[in-house]
Structure 1
Amino acid sequence: MEEFESQLSPVIKKNLTETLTQLNTKIEGMIGKIEGKGCGILTEFENINRVFSNLQLDAASFYLNSYLSPYTDVFEELTISVQNLSKRKHGGLIVVKRNDSLEDLMSSGIPVGAKLSPALLESIFYPGSPLHDGAVLVEENMIISAGNVLPLSKVTYNNQKLGTRHRAAIGISEQSDALVLVVSEETGKISFAFNGKLYPVQYGAPNIN
């Protein structure tokens, strides 16, 4: 992700700076508690861990849009679609073609050839749809095909066994420069795979309690 490090927007910089400042205050408070009675220290650790997680998720959202925007004009529609899928816990797997050819890495797709829209994308992944278990291929502003089968990765993520959608997302990103959006059917959580790695995504600013 180094290619976008110098392009952090003023809003992102402001959010990260404010969050890190608040985090520093929390850490200083923890030091005071340790020097005192040490009460509530485990709760503070949980709070700080949550803040760090939110920072990572917020940064991932920025990078996701940065990776998408040079290759498609409908990245906002993609964002809306995955958010709607997430809210309903409808699983989704969306491959966004960048520079590399994907013809030899995908199979069994059904041609669609339609301009991408949230309504169309969400209908493809509606439970019970004949194509909902496969991957959608997006090139520029078009849905090229649906129901595609992707190569599965054998890696683990955070020592956890991954489901088929996530293994497929990582698998094709290991063999190409494609960016792959994944929505978990079990949890509704959104992730994206890029260069063989999986990144959780959050839309909106970090939340500190």
Structure 2
Amino acid sequence: MNLQAITFVQRQISINDIIGLSIALILFVLFDIIFAKIFNRKFVLLYLISAEVILMASWYFGIDLLTIVTGIALGVGLTFFLFANMNEARVFIANSMKGKASFQLFGHKKDETKPEHIFDREAMYKKIETAVVTLSKQKIGAIITFEKKDSLNDVIKSGTILNAPVVPELLLTIFYEGTRLHDGAVIIRDDKILAASVYFTPTTRPLTGKFGSRHRAAIGISEITDSVTVVVSEETGRISIAYDGELQAVAPDTFLKVFEEYMAIAKAPEDENEDSEPKPSDKPEEHK
């Protein structure tokens, strides 16, 4: 090893180096925490941390080319990811501004209870069953999202506001291929069809099996809210329910029971174990 290499390895750490590295480390950690809270993408977080470590190391050791290349890769990667997942960022920011997210950086959560609208849930669920089973028999593609605790006001803006009562015939009309509103999702809040033709950002996760655009959109909205989304395949008439980032195929004769179970699941506090709330089992291996 020559003198230059020895000097490179044994470089003295100055006060400025310590201050610079400390500031960079604090900023990176804060950014990673915020990023993890908004997007919850482990593989992207690993990419961020790896790039940040390389960036700090190359800067400290004076490897300018590696610093520039890593900085560009980090910036381009983040820009691409943010554009691809803009909807999740909008939902988080909107909820934070309304005080619903209370900027949950360190696990503290503001009470976001809202007055419960009283209506005949059993009667409404039976209407949903009638509509979904009919859509399945006629192989009419549909995606219906039911708002629970997390507000869907932000994504509703992309659709057409209806504020109509839940009626099976209306749902069938909306999703009939010849109508203007048949593309996109219907959002139901309590016993009202709040909006139609609403578009969700589809999931970016690699999925096993054959999934259509409706299924990917349903999984996407279930990853960022506690909503329950029912999907009917226009190719097979198959019924599926998306919740918490997962998709379950449901037979028409058991739809009402399984749907009620999903709607009854309460959102668990973030500091509790994710498995604290039981979910319906028998998830399928593939979906069409």
3-state DSSP of counterpart to 1:138: strand
Asked whether 1:146 is paired with 2:211, we answer no
Aligned positions of 1:1-209 closer than 5 A: 73-157=123-207, 159-204=208-253
Opposite residue 189 of structure 1, the aligned amino acid is: R
Query: Kindly tell me: are residues 96 and 178 of structure 1, through their superposed partners in 2, closer, same or farther at Cα, counting changes over 3 Å?
Result: same
| Structure 1 residue identity aligned to 2:172 | E
Aligned-pair distance for 1:106?
Answer: 4.2
Matches of 1:136 and 1:176, distance apart in 2? 16
Cα deviation for residue 105 of structure 1 reads 3.6
Aligned residues: 136
Q: Is the 8 A contact 1:107 1:149 kept in 2?
A: no
Secondary structure of 2:253's aligned partner = coil
Instruction: Measure, in 2, the Cα distance between the counterparts of 1:106 and 1:171.
Output: 15
* Stretches of structure 2 lacking an aligned partner (at least 5 in a row): 1-118, 255-288
Q: Which string of whole-angstrom CA distances, capped at 9 and with x for unpartnered residues, describes residues 10-45 of structure 1?
A: xxxxxxxxxxxxxxxxxxxxxxxxxxxxxxxxxxxx
Q: What TM-score comes out, normalization by structure 2 length?
A: 0.45
**More helix by proportion, 1 or 2?**
2
User: Judging changes above 3 Å, is the alpha-carbon distance between structure 1 residues 141 and 95 closer, same or farther for their aligned structure 2 residues?
Assistant: same
Shift of 1:176: 0.2
Partner of 1:15: none
Q: CA deviation at 1:72?
A: 7.4
- Displacement of 1:154: 2.0
Q: Which has the higher contact order (CA 8 A, sep 6+)?
A: 1
Larger Rg: 2
Q: What is the one-letter code of the residue matched to 2:153?
A: E
Deviations along 1:88-108, one digit per CA (max 9) or x if unpaired, are 100000010000011234442
- CA apart distance, 1:73: 5.0
Structure 1 residues 145 and 191: CA distance shift in structure 2, 3 A: same
The answer to whether the Cα contact below 8 Å between 1:71 and 1:98 also exists between their aligned partners in 2 is no
**CA RMSD between the two structures:** 2.0
CA contact (8 A) 1:100 1:177 kept: yes
SS in 2 for 1:89: coil
Q: Is the 8 A contact 1:105 1:151 kept in 2?
A: no
Runs of 4+ in 1 over 4 A off after TM superposition: 69-73
Name the SS for the 2:154 alignment partner. coil
Instruction: Find the residue that maps to 2:252 and give its secondary structure.
Output: coil
8 Å contact from structure 1 (residues 106, 151) kept in 2: no
CA distance in 1 between partners of 2:147 and 2:219 (Å): 14
Q: Which has the higher strand share?
A: 1
Q: What secondary structure is seen at the aligned counterpart in 1 of 2:130?
A: helix
Contact 2:139 2:235 in 1 (8 A): yes
- The CA deviation at 1:70 is 9.7
Which whole-Å CA distance do the structure 1 matches of 2:202 and 2:229 have between them?
Answer: 13
Q: 1:73–1:140: 8 Å Cα contact kept in structure 2?
A: no
Deviation of 1:110 (Å): 0.5
